[in-house]
């Protein structure tokens, strides 16, 4: 049978008091079989579990410690108006401030301000680079002085901008297009590209450059006067060895 030992400090005069609860139900404190330490620092009001000198209000020892809160439990900060609430059965964490839900982390992603609809959950955010290519159905022998693209993906929306400058257009077959997208364009996407700067592109008089973001992961290049004619696609003859483009566009993705 295990032994229980309560030992007073050799020189201390303080009294250790253990008070039974005001109830008819038994209460139990069970200590583990392994070696462990529970330190309550009276002088500072700090508690250490496996720590002999706790540095903060509650400190756990080791690199694998954990605090488990039951489903429906909360971590409150100065009262129940500001808290983190967790639900294991429904798999979400809820963050409240000033007694109002601000954000929820679910299996579908992040929702905000009390919205719990799966379709509205933000499930991805990333930034990165991509390499724009000015070509056709096929191309060869090209060289670039600049070929730089960046993107930001928020949920299923991808926002891209890029700059490319040819030093040799090489051989471009078919209608010209910009390729190299960082993600797959959704089959239901409808969008256009905006050109902020263009150089050395041969267009008809009074025509401007347009771009259609197509579902085959390309931007088809068109020209139009925006008045009396329909846009027409630009062939390889519209590009030159020093063609330069700065542009931006966005699209929806299924990736």
Q: What is the pLDDT along the chain (255 residues), one digit of tens a residue?
A: 567 777 777 777 777 777 777 778 777 776 666 666 677 765 677 888 877 778 888 888 777 777 888 888 999 999 999 999 999 889 999 999 999 999 999 999 999 999 999 999 999 999 999 999 999 999 999 999 999 999 999 999 999 999 999 999 999 999 999 999 999 999 988 788 999 999 998 888 888 899 999 999 999 999 888 776 788 999 989 999 999 999 999 999 998
Would you tell me how many other CB atoms lie within 10 Å of the CB of residue 253?
18
For 247, the enclosing helix (H) or strand (E) is strand 239-252
pLDDT (0 to 100) of residue 23: 77
- Identify any residues that bridge with 164 across adjacent strands, giving them in sequence order: 147, 245
| DSSP β-ladder status, 239-252 and 232-233 | unpaired
At residue 61's C-alpha, the angle toward residues 56 and 62, to 5°, is: 135
Say if residue 135 is in the same domain as residue 113: no
Global pTM reads 0.75
Q: Is 176 contained in some domain?
A: yes
pLDDT (0 to 100) of residue 18: 76
Residue where one domain finishes, among candidates 78, 100, 122? 122
Q: Is 78 contained in some domain?
A: yes
Say if residue 104 is in the same domain as residue 157: no
- Cβ–Cβ under 8 Å, residues 171 and 140: yes
Give residues with Cβ within 8 angstroms of 93, minimum separation 6. Answer: 84, 85, 86, 87, 104, 105
Give residues with Cβ within 8 angstroms of 221, minimum separation 6. Answer: 175, 176, 177, 178, 209, 210, 211, 233, 234, 238
Query: In total, how many domains does the chain have?
Result: 2
pLDDT (0 to 100) of residue 35: 65
Residue 1 tokens read as: 């049978």
Say if residue 107 is in the same domain as residue 136: no
Say if residue 178 is in the same domain as residue 248: yes
pLDDT (0 to 100) of residue 33: 63
pLDDT (0 to 100) of residue 36: 67
What whole-number distance in Å separates Cα of residue 135 and Cα of residue 137?
A: 7
Give residues with Cβ within 8 angstroms of 100, minimum separation 6. Answer: 113, 114
Identify the domain containing residue 112 by its residue range: 69-122
Q: Is 212 contained in some domain?
A: yes
- Using only C-alpha atoms, the chain has a radius of gyration, in whole angstroms, of 33
């Amino acid at each position: 049978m295990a032994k229980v030992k309560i030992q007073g400090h050799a020189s201390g005069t303080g009294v250790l008091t253990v008070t039974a609860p005001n109830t008819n139900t038994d209460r139990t404190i069970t200590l583990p079989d392994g070696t462990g330490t529970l330190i309550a620092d009276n002088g500072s009001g700090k508690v250490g579990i496996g720590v002999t000198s706790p540095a903060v209000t509650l400190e756990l020892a080791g690199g694998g410690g954990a605090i488990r809160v039951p489903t429906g439990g909360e971590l409150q900060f100065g009262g129940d108006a500001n808290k983190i609430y967790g639900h294991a059965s429904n798999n979400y964490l809820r963050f409240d401030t000033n007694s109002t839900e601000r954000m929820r982390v679910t299996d579908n992603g992040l929702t905000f301000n009390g919205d719990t609809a799966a379709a509205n959950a933000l499930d991805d955010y990333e930034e990165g680079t991509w390499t724009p290519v000015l070509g056709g159905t096929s191309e060869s022998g090209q060289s670039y002085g600049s070929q730089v693209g960046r993107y930001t993906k928020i949920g299923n929306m991808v926002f891209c901008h890029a700059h490319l400058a040819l030093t040799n257009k090489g051989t471009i077959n078919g209608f010209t297009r910009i390729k190299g997208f960082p993600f797959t364009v959704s089959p239901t996407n409808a969008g256009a590209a905006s050109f902020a700067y263009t150089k050395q592109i041969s267009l008809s008089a009074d025509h401007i450059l347009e771009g259609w973001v197509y579902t085959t992961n390309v931007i088809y290049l068109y020209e139009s006067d925006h008045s009396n004619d329909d846009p027409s696609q630009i062939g390889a003859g519209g590009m030159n060895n020093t063609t330069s483009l700065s542009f931006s566009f966005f699209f929806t993705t299924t990736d």
